[in-house]
Structure 1
């Protein structure tokens, strides 16, 4: 597999990919048509913040499986377009958390004690001891906007130095805030009005862009602002004016709306604003951590294993994966059987879990079932875009669980249907990775789901099975296995055959010409291999 890296990452990540046997190509500072040409045959793309990954790029990269962001922020990646094209987007949120938190704390101290300004005056030959009167963080209130991983690490560090924590984050609970000894407030204004120091740790989205402007900064009068998250969250002109006019005592900024920053940016020209060139993640340990983490996620995607930091695909904790792993392929296979036997417009899909599997996180299994529904109809369907395909087509998708599982430890049932009829296929997993289809509708069977299959609904009468076998033999179709189920003696039966070859249409027609045969369905699994 080919991995294209378009922004510099630590060698440890590239070495990990090459050690796994993959081709790694680096193409830094490419854009436009050159970028599209470079990614045309890539299976994975690794970027940082310097590469714009838009809809046009996904159009130019038909073989792309995953885009790995070696860092946290993904505002340079069109996730909707990635999902539409079935491409996983994954970031590396853990690798540089400590580095970003430490830089934030350093910037808070730097602005509170005017460290860069004092340094410049002293190296310029001036002993300006009386011109700098700093602010201690002890007994001050730290406002944190966005209490994710970095925000939590910053809070822990500054709380240990005597600050009180006030948090604004609509997506965390009071219980979570209390675990850090913090107070969760309902709105941004309340956070600003209480804060002596304000630090920002939210992603840049349409909701957070220019979230803090002139009016918001006025509520922080006499305080300090530290932004080491993403540029564009704080109105830069308003922040520069607030510091220059004395509304704020100082600010420290590591990120900008446009990077590299323009020399005309007003934040560069205010004495009490400290600026650094996006250094939050710039430590040796952080760069190695995010590179290796991103490489591991690329490798997981190549192996169809969970991508733990996927942003647009179901994922599962690594420790929980062994419990659901056997059912991922089983659900996909059961869905393929169901949709091919239904052979009509699908309006609803239901995935039911029974037994021990019902206690697990099964989002990834359900996504795999949807993939199985759509793959026979639309080759580009996968676990990433299948939920979106269902939504676009107006297909109702439901998931249900029950502890009751008939005679099996765990069962996964996929049902496809419309308003009038449906087909249900139920599978289980035996020891040693042995998958079985154990029920189709009301017929109990024991079929091996693999390769070429033929399902026949027929009368339960003597000679029918022999007739079917004879027809298959006349056409040199070898039967590898045969399974039969019936509702009542002499009623309707369902027989399922594993075959070594695909079944031509003329064979199906010949079988259905017999009045004892109601319906035949050729089912192709595993691309017929």
Structure 2
């Protein structure tokens, strides 16, 4: 498969892709129509912050499976459009965490001690020892806005240096904050108490301009360090606050516009230290994010878990071998249920019993939805299936139980229109061998693979023979047959695994016999 790389990454990432047998193509200067042409036959795309991955990109890339962001921030990727097109978006949040945290600490010390300013004047021949009176961090309060991966690492480094830590993060629990030695507070309290404020949040509608004129005024006499994303801190307001002496200083590694515009007001304020987005610029960080991103692209190609997927169900790598066989089984159960159900599907319920109920089953449930939607000819996969269900007004639910009847584990998919319902259940024999064990209440033992014919008929002598003979007349070979019935002489359901496809005329001939009430032909995974 082809992976297009449009922003520079470490060679180690490119080698990972090639070692896995895929093609890695670099195109670092493409944009606009050139990007749309380059992406047209790609299966994977790797970017950093320089490439805008818009809806037009997804429209042009019919074969695209995954977009990998070699870094943390994904504000340059239209994730909603990716989801609509069934494309996984994954980032590499761990690879540059240490580098970003260390740069934050370095920037905090640099602004507190005016290191760049003193350096510049000394190089110019000035011995300005008396012009700089620095601030010690010991005994001061560190305010952390965003106690995620980077924010936590900053707290771990500055806390032991004698700083009290307060943090604002509505998405983290108090227990975790306490483990880091931080007090979780609201934003106003964080700003009021902080002597140093570090910012570690993504740029979203919620965080854009989060630290503006009013917030900076609350930090009177303090310092601001932003190494997360430009636009979170109002740069014009920051420049004014430092120039007017409201703040003692500031340090920025990120800007609203990058490369930074020459007329950006922060460049004219001597007490604002600036660096050109160097937070992740270490050799180790660049190699880590490149290999991590490449590994996730390769995993997506292999239908393996994408650990840092942002818009698709993911699963811990150690748990994946336990759930992997159930992914295809649930998809098949959903597909069979949708093919056999005659009503308008309004609800999907996925039920887990036995050992599998103890696992993280989000990916299995998404696959079950994919199976249900496929016969409806909706363009869907495990990435966009939950979104498709929401848009179509289909309610999806999960049920788990430790009880598994006669099996170690089972998965059931039930579709309903509010009045009628149909359930298909499956299990694994010997740990890896999938079987359908129940269809619409009939016990069966069917292999969920290849060509499948499901017939409902009266339980009378000669019916199965007639079906077999008709299949033979059309040169369709029976690989396996599984029969279930309600009562002797009542209705029966028979599942045929076939070696060959079933033509429409064959189905018509079967339905012409009044002993047969319904026939459904289903092509499953592995169909040639």
| TM-score normalised by structure 2 residue count | 0.99
Whether the aligned pair in 2 keeps the contact of 1:341 and 1:523 (CA below 8 Å) is no
Q: How does 1:353-364 map to 2 (within 5 A)?
A: 353-364=352-363
Whether the aligned pair in 1 keeps the contact of 2:454 and 2:495 (CA below 8 Å) is yes
CA distance in 2, matches of 1:306, 1:108: 38
CA distance in 1, matches of 2:271, 2:423: 68
Task: State the partner residue of 1:91.
Answer: 91
CA distance in 2, matches of 1:254, 1:4: 28
Task: State the partner residue of 2:12.
Answer: 12
CA distance in 2, matches of 1:478, 1:124: 90
Which segments of 5 or more consecutive residues in structure 2 lack a partner in the other structure? none
Whether the aligned pair in 1 keeps the contact of 2:411 and 2:426 (CA below 8 Å) is yes
Task: State the partner residue of 1:140.
Answer: 140
Task: State the partner residue of 2:3.
Answer: 3
Task: State the partner residue of 1:347.
Answer: 346
Task: State the partner residue of 1:510.
Answer: 509
Deviation, 1:518, is: 1.4
Secondary structure of the residue that 2:75 maps to in structure 1?
Answer: coil
Q: How does 1:426-505 map to 2 (within 5 A)?
A: 426-431=425-430, 433-505=432-504
CA distance in 2, matches of 1:64, 1:376: 22
Task: State the partner residue of 1:61.
Answer: 61
CA distance in 1, matches of 2:16, 2:322: 27
Task: State the partner residue of 2:329.
Answer: 330
Secondary structure of the residue that 1:68 maps to in structure 2?
Answer: strand
Task: State the partner residue of 1:124.
Answer: 124
Deviation, 1:463, is: 1.3
Runs of 4+ in 1 over 4 A off after TM superposition: none
Task: State the partner residue of 1:526.
Answer: 525
Deviation, 1:380, is: 2.9
Deviation, 1:432, is: 5.3
Deviation, 1:377, is: 2.4
Secondary structure of the residue that 2:37 maps to in structure 1?
Answer: helix
Task: State the partner residue of 1:110.
Answer: 110
Task: State the partner residue of 2:397.
Answer: 398
Whether the aligned pair in 1 keeps the contact of 2:88 and 2:383 (CA below 8 Å) is yes
Whether the aligned pair in 1 keeps the contact of 2:68 and 2:293 (CA below 8 Å) is yes
Task: State the partner residue of 1:380.
Answer: 379
Whether the aligned pair in 1 keeps the contact of 2:449 and 2:526 (CA below 8 Å) is no
**How far does the alpha carbon of each residue in 1:458-510 deviate from its partner, in whole angstroms, 9 at most, with x for none?**
11121111111111111111111000111222211111001111212222222
Whether the aligned pair in 2 keeps the contact of 1:141 and 1:196 (CA below 8 Å) is yes
CA distance in 2, matches of 1:505, 1:119: 83
CA distance in 1, matches of 2:42, 2:297: 12
Deviation, 1:323, is: 1.2
RMSD of Structure 2 on Structure 1 (CA): 0.9
CA distance in 1, matches of 2:384, 2:492: 37
Deviation, 1:70, is: 0.1
Comparing 491-500 and 229-238, the one that deviates more = 491-500
Which segments of 5 or more consecutive residues in structure 1 lack a partner in the other structure? none
CA distance in 1, matches of 2:104, 2:418: 57
Whether the aligned pair in 2 keeps the contact of 1:253 and 1:276 (CA below 8 Å) is yes
Deviation, 1:423, is: 1.5
The answer on 1:172 being equivalent to 2:141 is no
CA distance in 2, matches of 1:29, 1:247: 42
CA distance in 1, matches of 2:468, 2:320: 42
Whether the aligned pair in 1 keeps the contact of 2:350 and 2:368 (CA below 8 Å) is yes
Deviation, 1:420, is: 2.6
Whether the aligned pair in 1 keeps the contact of 2:97 and 2:150 (CA below 8 Å) is yes
Task: State the partner residue of 2:219.
Answer: 220
Whether the aligned pair in 1 keeps the contact of 2:343 and 2:420 (CA below 8 Å) is no
CA distance in 2, matches of 1:400, 1:87: 28
CA distance in 2, matches of 1:457, 1:423: 14
Secondary structure of the residue that 2:161 maps to in structure 1?
Answer: coil
CA distance in 1, matches of 2:80, 2:441: 40
**How far does the alpha carbon of each residue in 1:17-73 deviate from its partner, in whole angstroms, 9 at most, with x for none?**
011111111001211000100111000000000000000111011110000000000
| TM-score normalised by structure 1 residue count | 0.99
Comparing 421-430 and 48-57, the one that deviates more = 421-430
Task: State the partner residue of 2:307.
Answer: 308
**How far does the alpha carbon of each residue in 1:357-413 deviate from its partner, in whole angstroms, 9 at most, with x for none?**
001000000011111111222363100011111111111111111111110000000
CA distance in 1, matches of 2:306, 2:11: 21
CA distance in 2, matches of 1:7, 1:25: 11
CA distance in 2, matches of 1:448, 1:283: 53
**How far does the alpha carbon of each residue in 1:78-115 deviate from its partner, in whole angstroms, 9 at most, with x for none?**
00000000000000000000000000000000000000
CA distance in 2, matches of 1:527, 1:512: 27
CA distance in 2, matches of 1:461, 1:49: 68
Comparing 200-209 and 338-347, the one that deviates more = 338-347
CA distance in 1, matches of 2:262, 2:223: 23
The answer on 1:211 being equivalent to 2:213 is no
Matched residues, number: 528
Task: State the partner residue of 2:73.
Answer: 73
Q: How does 1:241-252 map to 2 (within 5 A)?
A: 241-252=240-251
CA distance in 1, matches of 2:232, 2:181: 26
CA distance in 2, matches of 1:400, 1:150: 36
CA distance in 1, matches of 2:256, 2:345: 46
Secondary structure of the residue that 1:373 maps to in structure 2?
Answer: helix
Secondary structure of the residue that 1:528 maps to in structure 2?
Answer: coil
Deviation, 1:433, is: 1.9
Deviation, 1:272, is: 0.4
